[in-house]
C-alpha cells in the first residue's frame, strides 16, 4: 500500500488528497478531516505498526522479528520482553490482592480449574482404577489373583484394562470429529454426560457372582472411557481457542501465554490423581478401622471403591450443568471459520488440505504421543520394583499408595514447570519435548543393563532417583507438550479431529504396553521401553514444528491462503524457518518467507477483514440481532480512518487490482 500511494501520489489528484486521520473515526464513512495532511509511507507504517509489528515480537528500531535476530540479541530481546511481562503480571496480582486477598485464587479457579475440570475428574477416576486393582487382588484373590481355575476368567480380568483403553481411543477419535462437525460446546456437554453415566454405572456395578461383577465393571469402564476420550480433544481445542480470544486480530496474551493457559488446564489431571490418592488412603483407613495393612474386610473394600466413584459423579453432574448453561460461546471460533468459508457440517475440504500440507505434523503429533504413552505406562515398572526392595511390607496396598502419592507430587512439579517454561522462546515446546524424551530414555536404559544391581538394596537409592526423574521429565516434557501441540499446529476447522486422532494413536501406546507387559518379565520390559524415548526424540526433531511465540491467528491467516489454493503467496512468519520442522524446511516451505512482501499483503488482508466486519455489522443491524460477526472496534481509530478513505476511491481500487496482477501480490 505504501508503494502504491508513493508511486501514484503526484500523478493522480484524487489520491494526492487522501487525508490522514488525526482523531476518532466518528460519523459516516467519509467524514472530512480539515486539519489532515496526506498519507506517506511513514504514516502508513505508523498506523499499522501495532498490528504488523507488535513490540513483544519485533524490535522497536528496525522492526526485526525476534527469530531473525542473532542468538545473543535474540536472548536479550526475549529476556527483556519476558521480564517486562512478569513485572506487569506481578503488579496485576498485587493489585488484585490489595482489593481482595482471595481475588488471585478466584482468577486461578476461573482460568485453570474450570477449563481443566473435566481433566481433573478423569485424572481422578482413571488413576483410581489403577489404584483399586491391588486392593481387589487382596480382597478377592480367587477372582483378581489371575490364577488358572479361579472363579473369574483371566481374559475378563485383563479386559478391564483393555476395554477402558479402547473406550478412550474410540471417544478420542469419534468426539474429535463431532467437535469439528457439530461444535466444541456440544462435544463438551456430551463428554460430561457420558462420564456421568459411566460413573453411575461404576458406582452401582454388580453381578450375581464375582465374574458377573467383573464383566459389569469392565463395560462400565468402557462407557466412562468413551467420555474421557472425548475430553482430550474438546478441552485442548476449547482452551486453545479461548486463549486466543474472540477477535480476528492477534494479541500479546496469545503470543506470550497461550501454551501456559492450555497446560494450566491440562495439569488439573495431576491434581485429580492427587485428590484421588489422598481420598483412597483416608477412606481405607476409616472403613478398615484405622489399619492400612492387610487383611482388608470386604465391607471396607466395597465402601472404599464405590465411594471413590460416587464423589466424582457429583462433580461431573455439576460439570454438565456448567457446560450447558455457562459456556454458550465455546464453539465461537469454529462457527466463524465455517461461516467465513461458507461451510456447513464437516469441512472435508479442509481435512484433505490438512493431510496434504500438514501430513508430517500429524505424524509428529500422533507418533510422539504414542512413544510418550509407552513411557507414561512404563513408569509404573519403576514403582513396583522400587517398592518391592525398599519396603518391609511390599504387599500392603497402603505402602503402594503412599509411594504413589510421592510420585504424584513429583509429577505435579513437572506439570507446573512445563506450564511456566512452555512459552519461553529460548526453550519452548520442541526443546522441552526433546529433552523430556532424552531424559526418559536415559533413566530407563541405565537400569535395563544393570537391572540386578539397581533393584538390590545397594543400588535402590539410585533407582529411586531415576524413578522420580522419569516422572518429572515425563510431565516436564512430552506429556504436556503432546497435549498442547496436537491442537496448536493444525487449523481451526479440523483441530479437534487432528487432536483426537493424535490422542487415539497415543493411547494405543498404552494399550501396547498393557498387553506386552503381560507376556515379558521385568528386565525385558526395561530392555524394550527406553527405545521409545529415543524414537520420540528423533520424531520430534524431524517432524514437529516449533510454534513457541508464533501467533495462532497468523497460522490461521496462512491457512486461509492454503485453503484458497494460494499457499505460495503467503510470506509471513508462520513459514519462518524457526517455526517449521526440519521435514518442512527440507521440502522448501520456509523459502517463501519474506517480511517485506508479507507487510504489503498483511495490510490488504486487514482491509478485507475490516470490509467483512463492516458488511457483517450492517447485516446484523438489518436483522436487528447480534450474530457471530466481530465488530470493527478491534481496529484503532486511525486504521478505521485509513480504510474508510482508501476504500472509498474507485481509482485507487482499480490501481490496487492492476498492481496485484502485475506483481502477483
Quote the pLDDT of residue 159.
86
Quote the pLDDT of residue 147.
62
Residues of 294-325 as b/e, b for ≥16 C-beta within 10 angstroms?
A: eebeeebbebbbeebbebbbebbbebbebbee
Alpha-carbon distances, residue 446 vs 381, 439, 463, 662 (angstroms): 14, 11, 9, 63
Quote the pLDDT of residue 244.
59
Quote the pLDDT of residue 640.
77
Alpha-carbon distances, residue 488 vs 47, 114, 580 (angstroms): 30, 20, 13
CATH no. of 118-543: 1.20.1250.20
Taking alpha carbons only, the member of 563, 173, 194, 174 closest to residue 355 is 563
Quote the pLDDT of residue 169.
93
Residues of the chain short of pLDDT 70, as ranges, are 1-43, 45, 146-149, 243-250, 378, 380-382, 384-386, 388-394, 620, 624-634, 647-665
Distance, CA of 547 to chain centre: 12
pTM for this one? 0.85
Only one residue has cell 481509530, namely 637
Quote the pLDDT of residue 533.
93
**CA–CA separation, 574 and 576 (whole Å):** 6
**Spatial contact of 163 and 221, defined as CB atoms under 8 Å apart:** yes
Only one residue has cell 505460495, namely 568
C-alpha cell at 463: 533407582
Quote the pLDDT of residue 585.
95
* DSSP label at residue 18: P
CB atoms within 10 A of CB 369: 29
Taking alpha carbons only, the member of 270, 290, 303 closest to residue 135 is 303
CB atoms within 10 A of CB 620: 15
**Boundaries of every domain in the chain:** 2-52+596-663, 66-105, 118-543, 552-593
In angstroms, the first-to-last Cα distance of the chain is 11
Quote the pLDDT of residue 150.
72
Quote the pLDDT of residue 324.
92
Quote the pLDDT of residue 248.
56
> What is the tens place of the pLDDT at every residue in 288-328?
887 777 788 889 999 999 999 999 999 999 999 999 998 88
Within 8 A by CB and 6+ apart from 18, the residues are 5, 38, 39, 645, 646, 649, 652
Amino acid at each position: 500500500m505504501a508503494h502504491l500511494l508513493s508511486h501514484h501520489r503526484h500523478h493522480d489528484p484524487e489520491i494526492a488528497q487522501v487525508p490522514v486521520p488525526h482523531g476518532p473515526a466518528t460519523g459516516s464513512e467519509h467524514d472530512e478531516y480539515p486539519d489532515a495532511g496526506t498519507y506517506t509511507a511513514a504514516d502508513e507504517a505508523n498506523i499499522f505498526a501495532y498490528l504488523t509489528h507488535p513490540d513483544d515480537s519485533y524490535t522497536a528500531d528496525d522492526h526485526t522479528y525476534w527469530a531473525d535476530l542473532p542468538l545473543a540479541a535474540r536472548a536479550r530481546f526475549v529476556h527483556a520482553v519476558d521480564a517486562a511481562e512478569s513485572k506487569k503480571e506481578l503488579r496485576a496480582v498485587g493489585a488484585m490482592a490489595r482489593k481482595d486477598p482471595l481475588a488471585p485464587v478466584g482468577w486461578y479457579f476461573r482460568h485453570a480449574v474450570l477449563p481443566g475440570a473435566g481433566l481433573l475428574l478423569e485424572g481422578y477416576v482413571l488413576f483410581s482404577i489403577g489404584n483399586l486393582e491391588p486392593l481387589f487382588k487382596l480382597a478377592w484373590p480367587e477372582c483378581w489373583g489371575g490364577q488358572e481355575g479361579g472363579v473369574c476368567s483371566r481374559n475378563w480380568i485383563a479386559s478391564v484394562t483393555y476395554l477402558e483403553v479402547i473406550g478412550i481411543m474410540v471417544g478420542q477419535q469419534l468426539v474429535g470429529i463431532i467437535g469439528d462437525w457439530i461444535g466444541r460446546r456440544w462435544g463438551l456437554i456430551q463428554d460430561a454426560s457420558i462420564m456421568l453415566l459411566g460413573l453411575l454405572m461404576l458406582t452401582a456395578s454388580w453381578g450375581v457372582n464375582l465374574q458377573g461383577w467383573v464383566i459389569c465393571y469392565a463395560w462400565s469402564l468402557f462407557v466412562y472411557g468413551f467420555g474421557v476420550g472425548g475430553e482430550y480433544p474438546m478441552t485442548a481445542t476449547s482452551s486453545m481457542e479461548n486463549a486466543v480470544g474472540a477477535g480476528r486480530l492477534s494479541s500479546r496474551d496469545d503470543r506470550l501465554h497461550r501454551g501456559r493457559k492450555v497446560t494450566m488446564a491440562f495439569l488439573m489431571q495431576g491434581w485429580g490423581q492427587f485428590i484421588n490418592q489422598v481420598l483412597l488412603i483416608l477412606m481405607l483407613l476409616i472403613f478398615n478401622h484405622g489399619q492400612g495393612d492387610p487383611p482388608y474386610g470386604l465391607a471396607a473394600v466395597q465402601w472404599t471403591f464405590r465411594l471413590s466413584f460416587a464423589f466424582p459423579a457429583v462433580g461431573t453432574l455439576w460439570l454438565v450443568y456448567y457446560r450447558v448453561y455457562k459456556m454458550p460461546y465455546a464453539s465461537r471460533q469454529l462457527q466463524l471459520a465455517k461461516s467465513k468459508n461458507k461451510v456447513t457440517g464437516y469441512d472435508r475440504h479442509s481435512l484433505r488440505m490438512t493431510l496434504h500440507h500438514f501430513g508430517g505434523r500429524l505424524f509428529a503429533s500422533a507418533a510422539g504421543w504414542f512413544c510418550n504413552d509407552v513411557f507414561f505406562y512404563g513408569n509404573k515398572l519403576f514403582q513396583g520394583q522400587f517398592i518391592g526392595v525398599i519396603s518391609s511390607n511390599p504387599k500392603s496396598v497402603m505402602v503402594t499408595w503412599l509411594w504413589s502419592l510421592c510420585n504424584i507430587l513429583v509429577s505435579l512439579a513437572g506439570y507446573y514447570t512445563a506450564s511456566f517454561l512452555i512459552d519461553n522462546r529460548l526453550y519452548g515446546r520442541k526443546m522441552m519435548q526433546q529433552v523430556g524424551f532424552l531424559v526418559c530414555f536415559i533413566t530407563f536404559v541405565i537400569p535395563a543393563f544393570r537391572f540386578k544391581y539397581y533393584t538390590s538394596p545397594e543400588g535402590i537409592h539410585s533407582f529411586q532417583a531415576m524413578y522420580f526423574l522419569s516422572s518429572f521429565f515425563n510431565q516436564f516434557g512430552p506429556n504436556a507438550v503432546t497435549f498442547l501441540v496436537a491442537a496448536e499446529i493444525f487449523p481451526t476447522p479440523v483441530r479437534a479431529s487432528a487432536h483426537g486422532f493424535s490422542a487415539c494413536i497415543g493411547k494405543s501406546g498404552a494399550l501396547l504396553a498393557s498387553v506386552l507387559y503381560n507376556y515379558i518379565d521385568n528386565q525385558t520390559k526395561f530392555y524394550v521401553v527406553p527405545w521409545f524415548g529415543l524414537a520420540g526424540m528423533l520424531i520430534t526433531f524431524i517432524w514437529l514444528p516449533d510454534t513457541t511465540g508464533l501467533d495462532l491467528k497468523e497460522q490461521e491467516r496462512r491457512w486461509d491462503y492454503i485453503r484458497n489454493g494460494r499457499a505460495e503467496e503467503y510470506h509471513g512468519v508462520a513459514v519462518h524457518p524457526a517455526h517449521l520442522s526440519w521435514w518442512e524446511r527440507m521440502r522448501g516451505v520456509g523459502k517463501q518467507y519474506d517480511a517485506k512482501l508479507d507487510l504489503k499483503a498483511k495490510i490488504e488482508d486487514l482491509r478485507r477483514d475490516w470490509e467483512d466486519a463492516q458488511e457483517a455489522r450492517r447485516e446484523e443491524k438489518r436483522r436487528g440481532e447480534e450474530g457471530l460477526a466481530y465488530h470493527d472496534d478491534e481496529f484503532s481509530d486511525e486504521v478505521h480512518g485509513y480504510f474508510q478513505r482508501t476504500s472509498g476511491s474507485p481509482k485507487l481500487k482499480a490501481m490496487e487490482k492492476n498492481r496485484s496482477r502485475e506483481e502477483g501480490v
